């Protein structure tokens, strides 16, 4: 087990509100290769205070609802989320566009700042469809955690082919996850740290997606992608390597034969030759992500299978981020598992969180 606890790690600080983007080349490289970029002082204190007051007003007036991790094997009415144990969320529309409640001007100012970040990422990560505007292309929320609340380990986005009947329904998908914290003077003792699980050594190539095919695992530091657009009509797993001339990236297909993606829970290692299957690490499994945990007793009492209920928080290499006011956190939505540790102090943990979307279809 190797631990890093970080709060202010980025050497790049936003000191001028007119700067187009607070992201340094190092931050971009970190996101592209599967790490977590942490940018302190992203927001000025007056905006932090206005957003915090807006969130408190909305919470006090009943605009937040509990929405922990939804288990795919249970109906919505069986999830059992509670305000004391789970995250509570204010959504307010796909882009906080409603003027009907709270401090709209504050949310609009914040949205414009995040728009600058999104446009910068679209260019520097070579994800051009991040720039596209429209309904559900940029999710923005407030999150609220009461003392004792937490959020289990999970991914923010999965390959459409692994979603069963819910796959391929939307034109866009989550591409980059962002969080901005709003609590002044938050300390390690208050709990509620964001725990992220990047590779100890960042990837050799860009993570998340390649040619529209999303990543599902790793072999050492190489992302493994799932291609479900094969001529056979089936799927294959592959990595990306430099060609023999050292000129361009090409696919290295790992599976001996194409296969049909089964329903959840899925174990992709069984489709690989044994020598590769032994090295393969799947990012999201029934054991690591409670949304895909099996249900005991036929699902009648909402009991998660003990073996799959959740993994240990300190399993593997991780980086903890203390939720200090004004800090911006960014990472790839497909490749980086994360969780929120239990709030152990007496304060409410408040943050703005969201996702930048890009096209979910295969790039032609």
Q: What is the mean pLDDT of residues 189-206?
A: 96
Return the domain boundaries, the chain.
25-196+316-359, 209-281
Report the b/e string of 54-63 with b at 16+ CB within 10 A. Answer: bbbebbeeeb
Taking the C-alpha atoms of residue 282 and residue 277, their distance in angstroms, rounded to an integer, is 10
Q: Is it the case that residue 100 has pLDDT exceeding 50?
A: yes
- Cα 332 to chain centroid distance, Å, stands at 6
Q: What percent of the chain has pLDDT over 70?
A: 83
SS3 state of residue 49? helix
Taking the C-alpha atoms of residue 57 and residue 54, their distance in angstroms, rounded to an integer, is 5
Taking the C-alpha atoms of residue 340 and residue 329, their distance in angstroms, rounded to an integer, is 13
Q: What is the mean pLDDT of residues 90-111?
A: 84
Residue 71: its pLDDT value, please?
52
Which of these ranges, 6-20, 132-146, 287-301, has the smallest mean pLDDT? 6-20
Does 101 or 289 have the greater pLDDT score?
101
Q: Is it the case that residue 75 has pLDDT exceeding 70?
A: no
Q: Is it the case that residue 109 has pLDDT exceeding 50?
A: yes
Which CATH class, in words, describes the domain spanning 25-196+316-359?
mainly beta
Residue 191 falls in which region: left (phi positive, over 0), alpha (psi -120 to 50) or beta:
left
Q: Is it the case that residue 304 has pLDDT exceeding 70?
A: no
Q: How confident is the model at residue 130 (pLDDT cuts 50, 70, 90)?
A: very high
What the block records as the tokens of 250 is 């090409």
Could you read off the pLDDT of 221-274 as tens digits, one per residue? 999 999 999 999 999 999 999 877 777 889 999 999 999 999 888 999 999 999
How high is the mean pLDDT of the chain? 86
SS3 state of residue 122? helix
Residue 293: its pLDDT value, please?
53
Within 10 angstroms of residue 127's Cβ, the number of other Cβ atoms is: 22
Residue 16: its pLDDT value, please?
37
Taking the C-alpha atoms of residue 278 and residue 270, their distance in angstroms, rounded to an integer, is 10
Which of these ranges, 165-169, 267-271, 327-331, has the smallest mean pLDDT? 165-169
């Amino acid at each position: 087990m190797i631990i890093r606890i970080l709060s202010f790690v980025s050497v790049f600080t936003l000191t001028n509100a007119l700067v187009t983007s607070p992201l340094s080349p190092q931050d971009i490289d970190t996101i592209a290769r599967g790490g977590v970029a942490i940018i302190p002082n992203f927001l000025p204190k007056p905006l932090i205070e206005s957003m915090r007051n807006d969130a408190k007003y909305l919470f006090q007036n009943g605009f937040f609802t509990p929405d922990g991790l939804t288990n795919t094997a249970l109906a919505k009415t069986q999830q059992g989320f509670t305000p004391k144990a789970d995250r509570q969320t204010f959504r307010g529309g796909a882009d906080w566009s409603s003027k009907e409640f709270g401090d709209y001007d504050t949310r609009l100012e914040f949205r414009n700042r995040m728009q600058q970040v999104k446009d910068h990422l679209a260019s520097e990560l070579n994800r051009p469809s991040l720039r596209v505007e429209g309904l559900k292309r940029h999710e923005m929320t407030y999150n609220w955690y009461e003392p004792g609340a937490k959020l289990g380990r999970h991914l923010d986005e999965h390959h459409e082919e692994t979603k069963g009947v819910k796959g391929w329904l939307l034109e866009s998908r989550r591409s980059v996850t962002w969080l901005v914290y709003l609590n002044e003077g938050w300390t390690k003792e208050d709990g509620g740290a964001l725990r992220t699980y990047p590779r100890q050594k960042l990837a050799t190539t860009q993570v998340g997606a390649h040619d529209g095919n999303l990543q599902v695992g790793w072999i050492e530091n190489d992302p493994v992608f799932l291609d479900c657009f094969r001529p056979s009509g089936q799927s294959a797993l592959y990595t990306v390597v430099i060609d023999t001339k050292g000129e361009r990236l090409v696919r290295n297909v790992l599976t001996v034969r194409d296969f049909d993606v089964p329903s959840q829970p899925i174990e992709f290692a069984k489709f690989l030759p044994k020598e590769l299957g032994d090295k393969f690490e799947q990012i999201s499994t029934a054991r690591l992500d409670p949304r895909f945990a099996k249900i005991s007793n036929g699902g009648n009492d909402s009991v998660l299978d003990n073996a799959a209920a959740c993994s240990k928080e300190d399993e593997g290499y991780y980086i903890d981020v203390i939720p200090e006011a004004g800090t911006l956190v960014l990472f790839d939505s497909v490749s980086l598992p994360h969780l929120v540790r239990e709030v152990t102090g007496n304060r409410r943990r408040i943050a703005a969180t969201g996702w930048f979307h890009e096209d979910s279809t295969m790039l032609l």
